[in-house]
């Protein structure tokens, strides 16, 4: 039985490591918090370099993310949400910020039903966040180029038989509308009769 438990523990430890998931385990009564080796490694620390206190993560959290991250945990502890799920930045040992997706929840309650232990995992999503920021920059440049050129954009949904015009395309055709959806019939009415077929 002891061997089976040991193997099971090793299995989960290896699985979490391979998935690059940092684990945290917070005892609300004592205030002690366990952070896995992978959690520390994500932030550039070796095992034992960080204090195992419940406020460590908060000390490492970006000032702009603290209030939101704390509120997510408080709402869950109060029973207002099924789990904790939030994105936040943690400070790496070298000084840069690491974006993580934090997911967790209550795993143990006392006899009165009050939470006494929280547990969760954090995933490094820095590359995803960088890609999102780069895509947003491309979109901003694209919108600026379109605005400077006076070009309008439209697309047509063949299945729905509807066209979608951006604001500039509607301006070009003198169409005053509060929606970007344009019927095929209206689109065809703008075409010269010789160009309709």
Q: How many domains does the chain have?
A: 2
Q: Which two tokens stand for residue 82?
A: 């099924």
**Same domain assignment for residues 63 and 92:** yes
Residues 184, 186, 189, 195, Cα dihedral to 10°: -30
- CATH for 150: 3.30.450.20
> pLDDT (tens digit, 9 = 90+) per residue, 77-93?
999 999 999 999 999 99
Q: Which residue segment(s) compose the domain that 32 sits in? A: 2-126
- Kindly report, residue by residue over 22-76, the tens digit of the pLDDT: 999 999 988 889 999 999 999 999 988 988 887 899 999 999 999 999 999 999 9
DSSP structure class, residue 80: S
Query: What integer pLDDT is reported at residue 122 of this predicted model?
Result: 95
**Do 158 and 83 have their domain in common?**
no
Q: State the pairing for strand pair 97-109/115-124.
A: antiparallel
Q: Does 102 or 176 have the greater pLDDT score?
A: 102
Asked if 112 and 182 sit in the same domain, the reply is no
Final residue before a domain boundary, out of 103, 126, 149: 126
Q: How do the residues of the chain divide into helix, strand and coil, expressed in percent and rounded to 5?
A: 40, 30, 30
Percent of the chain surpassing pLDDT 70: 89
pLDDT at position 11 is 46
Contact yes or no for 7/98 (Cβ under 8 A): no
Q: What is the DSSP string of 54-65?
A: TTHHHHHB-HHH
Give the CA dihedral 76, 107, 19, 7, nearest 10 degrees: 180
Q: How confident is the model at residue 174 (pLDDT cuts 50, 70, 90)?
A: confident
Which pTM value belongs to this model? 0.73
Asked if 138 and 190 sit in the same domain, the reply is yes
pLDDT beyond 80 at 188: no
Q: Is 84 helix (H, G, I), strand (E, B) or coil?
A: strand
105 confidence band (pLDDT: 50, 70, 90): very high
> Is the per-residue pLDDT at 9 higher than 70?
no
Relative to beta strand 33-35, strand 97-109 is unpaired
């Amino acid at each position: 039985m002891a061997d089976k438990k040991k193997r099971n523990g090793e299995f989960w430890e290896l699985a979490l490591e391979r998935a690059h998931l940092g684990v945290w385990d917070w005892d609300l009564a004592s205030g002690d918090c366990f952070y896995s080796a992978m959690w520390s490694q994500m932030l550039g620390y070796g095992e034992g370099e960080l204090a195992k206190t419940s406020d460590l993560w908060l000390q490492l959290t970006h000032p702009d993310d603290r209030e939101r991250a704390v509120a997510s945990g408080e709402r869950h502890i109060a029973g207002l949400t099924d789990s904790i799920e939030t994105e936040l930045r943690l400070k790496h040992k070298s000084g840069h910020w690491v974006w993580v997706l934090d997911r967790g929840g209550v795993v143990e309650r006392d006899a009165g039903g009050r939470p006494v232990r929280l547990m969760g995992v954090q995933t490094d999503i820095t590359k995803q966040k960088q890609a999102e920021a780069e895509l947003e920059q491309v979109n901003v440049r694209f919108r600026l180029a379109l605005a400077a050129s006076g070009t309008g954009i439209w697309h047509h949904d063949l299945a729905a038989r509807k066209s979608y015009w951006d604001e500039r395309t509607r301006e070009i055709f003198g169409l005053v509308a509060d929606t970007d959806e344009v019927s095929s019939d209206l689109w065809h009415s703008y075409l010269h009769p010789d160009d309709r077929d």
